Structure 1
Amino acid sequence: MTSGQQVIDGRFELRGRLGSGGMGAVWRAFDLALEREVALKEVRLAGTDTSELDPDVAQMLRERVMREARALARLHHPNVVTIHHIVDSPEMPHPWLVMELVRGQSLQERLAHGPLPPAEAAALGRGLLAALRAAHEAGICHRDVKPANVLLRTDGTPVLTDFGIAVLEETPRLTQTGGLVGSPEYIAPERLHGHEGDPASDLWSLGMLLYTAVEGRHPLRRPTTAATLAAVMTAPIPPAGHAGPLAPVLQALLAREPAARPAPEQLDHMLAQAADPGAVPASTPVPPPPPPPAFAAMPGPGTAPAPFPMRTTEPALKRSHRSGLSPVLIAAGAVGAVAVLLAALVVVLPKLSGGAGRTGGAGTPPGTAPTGAPTGVRTGSGANGGGTNGGGTSQVTTLLTPAAIRDVIKKFEEASGSKKFAQFTVYEDHASADAPVPRRRAAFDNYTYRKGADAAVRSGPSIAITTGDAKVDLGAFNWDVLPALMRRADRTLKVPKPTLRYIIVRASWTFNGGRPTMLVYLTDDYGGGYLAANTKGQVISTVPSDS
C-alpha cells in the first residue's frame, strides 16, 4: 500500500516520508477527524520487522515510545515539538506518535547548504537552550541533541524533537547494559564514563551542534564509531575559525568536565550577547563567564590542549594574543559586545595597568604579554625557587617549588579561614584557590595571591568550581615530589620550549575516580600537555602535547 493510501488507526492518512533514523521514520500525515496535517512517528528499529524481534526488545521499544509521549506531554514550550496523540494496540506491529507538523526543514538539511553566521547560530542556540531548560526543569534529559533532531519553523524558530531516548528522573533506565544511546559524535564524554542523567550533558551536545553549525564540520567525527568515541573522550578540539563572538560560548560549553559548563542563566546571557552585541546594555549586570574548558575544549592556534580554569588575567590575555581571535573579542573595555569577557577580567584580579583593553594587533608578536602584564613567566624548569635581585637580597623567583607552595597554602588558609579547598592553581608568579563559604553548601570564594605579596586576598565568589562540593586539605599532597614531577613533565609532555608552567589541584577529578588530583601543565605557542598525579605524587596519566 502506498504512503498516500495507508491510514493509521482509521484516522491518520500517510502522505509522505519526512525522514528516518535508527528509531524509526517520521511521516507527513492528515488527520481525517480534525482535518489538519500532523506528523506521525513510526517507532521501529531501522530495517527491522518488529514482529520478528525478541519480545523483550519489542517491549523495550514500546516503553520508549510511552516515555517519549510522557516526556513531551509534560512540556509546553514553543521550542519543543507538541505531541497530540499516541497510537498503540496489541494488533499493531509497532506504535506511532502523532505530533505537530513543523513546517520548514531540519537543521541538518539547512546545514547541507552551508554553515550559519555566528549571530544566527547564537539565536538558534538560545531557542534550543530554552527548550532544554524547560525539559531539565521537568526532570528530563534529552541525550540526543543534534542537527537532525532540530526542526526549523518557516520563521527560523528552532524546535527540539525526538525525546525517545530521554531520561526521566523517576523512570528506571531502559537502556540495555553496555548499550550506547545517542549519536556518537554528539554524546558528552562523561556519558562514555557511565555518568548519566546530568543536564550538563545536553549542554555539551548543544555546544557541538553550534560548533558544527558555524564551522560546517564536526570537529570530532572520525571514519568509524570507535574512533569517534575515542576522539570525544580525549582528542583536543580544533579552533573554530568562523565562530566570531560565539567563540567564548563554544569554549564554555565544550568543557569535558560537566561542572565546568556554564549555568543556564549565564549561558543564555552569553548567547544573547553573541546574537546581538547591542542587545545587552553596558549597565546590565553581566554574569561572569565560566572557566575555559577542561582538556582545551576550544584551543586557538598556540593554545594548549589543557584546562585553563584559572581566574587570573595575564595568561588569558596571552592566549587571546596567540589565538588569532578578532580584536573585538579581547578588547574588553572597548565595546559592550565583549561585556562577558570583561566580567571575567575585572572580577578576578586587581586592575592591570593598561593591559586589559589592549589587543594583539599589528606590531604585537603572538604570545607577547600585553602592556602592564607581569613578566614573571619564565621558561626554565620551574623547579628552582632561589635567586637574588640586583641588591643581593634573596627572593622567590618562582612559586612552583615545595617551600613556596606550602607558604602560599598557608597564606590562603589565613585569608580564608579554611583548611580545605575545592581547587588550587599555581603559576610561577601568582596563584588562586577556591575556599568554601561557611554555612553555604557548594558555595566558594576565590582567593588570589601574587608573588612577593604579604597575604592572599579575596577576589569574589568563585565562578570556576568544577568539583561540586568536594574539598581537599592541600597539605595531604606530597609537595616534595613536585620538582621530580616537573622534570618528568619536561621529559614526557613533548613541549620542548615551554612558555608557561603551572599546576592545578582539584579536590575531585572525573578521570581519577573523583579523587583529589594534581595536574602539571607545560604549554608553548603550539600547544601543550599535562600529567596527572595522586596525592602521593604518583603519576596516574600523561597526555603529551601531540596526543
Structure 2
Amino acid sequence: MTQEGRLIAGRYRIAGLIGRGGMGTVWRAEDLVLDREVALKRLHATPDRLSADEIATLHERSRREARSAARIAHPHVVVVHDVVEDDGVPCLVMEYVRSVTLGSLLADGAAVPVREAVRIGLAMTGALRAAHTAGVVHRDVKPANVLLGDDGRIVLTDFGIALPSGASTLTATGEMIGSVRYMAPERVRGRTAGPASDLWSLGATLYRAVEGRLPFDRVTAMEMAYAIAVDPPGPTKLAGPLGPLIEALLAKEPEERPSAEEAERTLRTLWAAETETKTAENAEAANTTDGTTALEPVQEPIRDPAPEAIRATAAPAPPRRTRVLLRTATALAVAAATATGALYIWPDGGTGTRQQGTTPRSPAADTTSPPPLPAGYHLAEAAQLGVSLPVPDGWTVGRSSDEQVTYQSPSGLAGITIGTVDPAGSDLTAHFADIETNTKKNYTVYRRLRLQHTTFRGAPAAVWEFTFQGRARAFRAIDLGFGRAGEREYDIYLSAPDEDWDTYRPVFDRVKEGLRTP
C-alpha cells in the first residue's frame, strides 16, 4: 500500500521513499506549516512478532533518538525538528539532506581516495566530538549512517541507538544493538559502550572507505565478532598517511585509542598536507603550457629534523638528593613535511627522576676498538660531547648544544642525534617509560614497538623503538641509552620516515658500532 500523499500528525505530507532500515522507514515529506522538505522516520509497526513491552521499548528508543540528537548542535549532525505519532507509532522529523550514504558509495568493494576519506573523517570526528561533549554515545557509527550531501556537506545521522551517559541500554539481556562489522571489541565482549567505542567504529569506517574491504572480514557474524575481539586487523595497503591513525583507532583497548579531539587534530594536519600538495600540483600544471617550461617552485628552507634528544637540567642537590632530568620528549617527532618543503616542530616535554650517587665517578674508559669507517661515511667530531662518530657523507650538523648534536640527512626528513646525560640514572628503562608517557600526550598517533632493558659495551642500557604520526607522514624512531649509574650516559637517537625505515636504519647501527667515547 502506497504511503505517498498521507498526512502525518496533520502537518507532514509524505512525498516519497528515501530508504528502509532495521528499525524504521525514512520518507521524504513536506512540512505544510513551514513549507519545507523534511525527512520523516517512522518505526516499523510489528505487533505480531513483538510483545507489548518490546514495542514500548522500541518507541522509547525512537523518542530517545530525538532527545539525543537534539542535544547536539553541530553542522555535521543531522538536525531533529520534531517528534510526532502516527497511529500510536513514533515518527522522527529531521532536516532533509539531499545526499547518498557513504555505504551506498562503497557498495561492491568500491573505495574512495585518501583525500576524500580524510575529509569524511574530519566531519565525523567533529560530529562525534560534539556528541561526546553533550554526553551522547552514538553506538552505530558506520558508512550507512554517513550522508554525503549533494552540496558537499557530510552529516552523521541515525542516533536511534545512541545513549546519553548513564541511560539504560533498553535491550534484552545479552542483546547487542548495532552492526557487528563496525562494533568495537569491548562491545563484542559485552562491556559498556563509551566514546572510545565510537572512535573504533570510525576507524573501521575509514578502513572500509580507503581499502574497499572490512578490517575484519569473515564469513559469518560470529566469526567476525571473534576476530574483532582477538585478531589484529588486516594491514592497510591504500591508506597512505591515513594508515597510522586508522591503526590507532582500531586498538583493542579503549584507553589506547585517540579521542575525537585528538583524531580531529591529526586529520586536520593530514588535510592541510593534502591540500598543500594538491595546490602545488595545480600550480605546477598551470605553469606548464605547450612550448613553455614551468619555473621550479621556491623551496621552503628545511629546518633541523632531529629532536633535541637529550637535554638535561639539574636542580641543586640536597643530602640524599634527587636530581630531576628534563628530557625533551621531542626525541620524538617530526611535525610537518609537505611536497614543497618541510617544517619541523619539536615540542618540549618528558620528565623523569634519577637518584644521584653520593660520589660521582669518572666516566669509564671505552676500551672497545671501533670498526673501520664504512664506505660513504666520514668521521665527525662532537667536541662538546667528547665523542666522535661515523656520519653518512652529505649529512650536515643541525642543532647543537653542550648536551647534544644532531646530523640531518640532505632531505631533512631523517636525523641522528648523539646526546649525553651526566650523571646517568640507575634505571634507564624506567626513565624511557617516563618520557613515553608524555610522548603519548604530544602525538595523536603513537605506537610502541619495544621498550626493554639491555646492555651495551658492558654497561646497563635501554632501547626504545616506536612509530608516530607527523604532519604529513608516519615516522619511526629508535633510541639507545647506555651508561652506569653515577657516570655519564650516552644516547643515540634516529628518526626517519616509516616508509624509508629500511634505508635509514643502518645509519643507527653504524653510528652505534662506530661511536668513539672517552
Q: TM-score, normalised by structure 1?
A: 0.56
The residue number in structure 1 matching 2:483 is 452
Matches within 5 A, 1:66-215: 66-88=63-85, 91-92=87-88, 94-112=89-107, 114-215=110-211
List alignment gaps of at least 5 residues for structure 2. Answer: 277-299, 308-328, 353-403, 419-424, 436-447, 455-460, 466-478, 492-504, 506-518
In 1, the alpha carbon distance for the partners of 2:428 and 2:182 equals: 40
Deviations 1:249-308 (A, max 9, x none): 21221211111112333322210122230769999xxxx9xxxxxxxxxxxxxxxxxxxx
Does structure 2 conserve the Cα–Cα contact (< 8 Å) formed by 1:119 and 1:246? no
Q: 1:351 to 1:183 in 2, by over 3 A?
A: farther
Q: 1:180 to 1:339 in 2, by over 3 A?
A: farther
Q: Residue 427 of structure 2 is aligned with which of 400, 408, 429?
A: 408
Deviation at 1:371, TM superposition (A): 8.5
Q: 1:35 to 1:180 in 2, by over 3 A?
A: same
Matched, 1:24 2:24: yes
Deviations 1:456-509 (A, max 9, x none): 99x9xxxxxxxxxxxxxxxxxxxxxxxxxxxxxxxxxxxxxxx9xxxxxxxxxx
Same amino acid, percent of matched pairs = 39
In 1, the alpha carbon distance for the partners of 2:239 and 2:434 equals: 40
Deviation at 1:454, TM superposition (A): 3.6
Amino acid across the alignment from 2:210? V
Deviations 1:198-251 (A, max 9, x none): 211111111111111111111212111101101111122122111122122212
Moved more, 4-13 or 55-64: 4-13
Matched, 1:425 2:451: yes
In 2, the alpha carbon distance for the partners of 1:216 and 1:340 equals: 33
In 2, the alpha carbon distance for the partners of 1:414 and 1:267 equals: 24
Q: 1:108 to 1:427 in 2, by over 3 A?
A: farther
The residue number in structure 2 matching 1:63 is 60
In 1, the alpha carbon distance for the partners of 2:199 and 2:46 equals: 35
Deviations 1:151-189 (A, max 9, x none): 111122210111111111142221222111111011111
Matched, 1:40 2:40: yes
Q: 1:344 to 1:226 in 2, by over 3 A?
A: farther
Amino acid across the alignment from 1:43? L
The residue number in structure 1 matching 2:280 is none
**Aligned pairs, number:** 354
Higher relative contact order (CA 8 A, sep 6+): 2
The residue number in structure 2 matching 1:265 is 261
List alignment gaps of at least 5 residues for structure 1. Answer: 289-310, 317-329, 360-369, 375-405, 417-422, 434-447, 460-498, 500-547
Amino acid across the alignment from 2:229? M
Deviation at 1:409, TM superposition (A): 7.3
In 1, the alpha carbon distance for the partners of 2:256 and 2:342 equals: 20
Q: 1:20 to 1:351 in 2, by over 3 A?
A: farther
Amino acid across the alignment from 2:268? A
Deviation at 1:451, TM superposition (A): 3.2
Q: 1:333 to 1:31 in 2, by over 3 A?
A: closer
Matches within 5 A, 1:267-282: 267-277=263-273
Amino acid across the alignment from 2:137? C
In 2, the alpha carbon distance for the partners of 1:10 and 1:60 equals: 25
**CA RMSD in angstroms, aligned pairs only:** 4.3
Q: 1:158 to 1:282 in 2, by over 3 A?
A: farther
Deviation at 1:334, TM superposition (A): 5.2
Amino acid across the alignment from 2:9? D
In 2, the alpha carbon distance for the partners of 1:37 and 1:175 equals: 33
The residue number in structure 2 matching 1:217 is 213
Deviation at 1:33, TM superposition (A): 3.0
In 2, the alpha carbon distance for the partners of 1:279 and 1:160 equals: 24
Deviation at 1:431, TM superposition (A): 4.7
In 2, the alpha carbon distance for the partners of 1:240 and 1:340 equals: 27
In 1, the alpha carbon distance for the partners of 2:140 and 2:405 equals: 43
Q: 1:415 to 1:121 in 2, by over 3 A?
A: closer
Deviations 1:365-387 (A, max 9, x none): xxxxx99599xxxxxxxxxxxxx
Does structure 2 conserve the Cα–Cα contact (< 8 Å) formed by 1:142 and 1:166? yes
In 2, the alpha carbon distance for the partners of 1:183 and 1:24 equals: 15
In 2, the alpha carbon distance for the partners of 1:154 and 1:265 equals: 27
Matches within 5 A, 1:327-406: 335=338, 353-354=407-408
In 2, the alpha carbon distance for the partners of 1:414 and 1:449 equals: 13
The DSSP-based 3-state class of the residue aligned with 2:199 is: helix
Does structure 2 conserve the Cα–Cα contact (< 8 Å) formed by 1:273 and 1:337? no
Amino acid across the alignment from 2:47? T
In 2, the alpha carbon distance for the partners of 1:338 and 1:240 equals: 27
In 2, the alpha carbon distance for the partners of 1:145 and 1:180 equals: 14
Does structure 2 conserve the Cα–Cα contact (< 8 Å) formed by 1:331 and 1:358? no
Which protein has the bigger strand share? 2
In 2, the alpha carbon distance for the partners of 1:282 and 1:50 equals: 70
Does structure 1 conserve the Cα–Cα contact (< 8 Å) formed by 2:174 and 2:190? no
The residue number in structure 2 matching 1:2 is 2
The residue number in structure 2 matching 1:249 is 245
Amino acid across the alignment from 2:66? A
Deviations 1:34-84 (A, max 9, x none): 33211111123xxx7235520110111011011101111111211111111
In 2, the alpha carbon distance for the partners of 1:140 and 1:415 equals: 34
The DSSP-based 3-state class of the residue aligned with 2:74 is: coil
The DSSP-based 3-state class of the residue aligned with 2:427 is: helix
Deviation at 1:111, TM superposition (A): 2.1
The DSSP-based 3-state class of the residue aligned with 1:276 is: helix
In 2, the alpha carbon distance for the partners of 1:266 and 1:414 equals: 22
In 2, the alpha carbon distance for the partners of 1:83 and 1:414 equals: 47
Q: 1:239 to 1:339 in 2, by over 3 A?
A: farther
Does structure 1 conserve the Cα–Cα contact (< 8 Å) formed by 2:429 and 2:462? no
Matches within 5 A, 1:277-288: 277=273
Matches within 5 A, 1:464-543: none
In 2, the alpha carbon distance for the partners of 1:181 and 1:98 equals: 23
Does structure 1 conserve the Cα–Cα contact (< 8 Å) formed by 2:337 and 2:344? no
Q: TM-score, normalised by structure 2?
A: 0.59
Deviation at 1:412, TM superposition (A): 4.4
